[in-house]
């Protein structure tokens, strides 16, 4: 959501409004990792870590080679699925459909 410049480092920060969990959710970690990749591409610097900020709690997440590879693999899989057909809906909750960005084109929506 924003960047912090700390000396020569550029640190991405992901801000969440939900209650802080005991540990950051995987989806939030992957989102932060994508921000790290963007910082790397735009500024030609690899952040050593990023921050996920919840109300009252902030997690520091190391941007490791393992996280980089997992994120790139996830993005590749998303691209493969996006270009595929008949991708099954991944939930049974109508409230998720209500806020989905694909609800106008989805043929599997619940609500």
pLDDT in tens, 39-50: 999 999 999 999
6: left (phi over 0), alpha (psi -120 to 50) or beta: beta
Is the Cα torsion angle 70, 62, 14, 38 positive or negative in sign? negative
pLDDT in tens, 48-89: 999 999 999 999 999 999 999 999 999 988 877 766 556 666
Confidence of residue 3 (pLDDT cuts 50, 70, 90): very high
Measured distance CA(26)–CA(99) in Å, rounded: 20
């Amino acid at each position: 959501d924003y960047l912090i410049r700390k000396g020569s480092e550029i640190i991405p920060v992901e801000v969440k409004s939900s209650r802080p969990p005991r540990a950051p959710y995987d989806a939030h970690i992957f989102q932060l990792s994508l921000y790290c990749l963007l910082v790397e591409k735009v500024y030609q610097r690899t952040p050593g870590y990023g921050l996920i900020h919840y109300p009252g709690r902030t997690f520091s997440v190391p941007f490791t080679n393992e996280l980089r590879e997992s994120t790139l693999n996830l993005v590749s899989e998303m691209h493969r699925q996006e270009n595929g057909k008949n991708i099954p809906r991944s939930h049974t909750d109508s409230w998720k459909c209500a806020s989905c960005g694909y609800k106008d084109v989805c043929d599997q929506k619940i609500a």
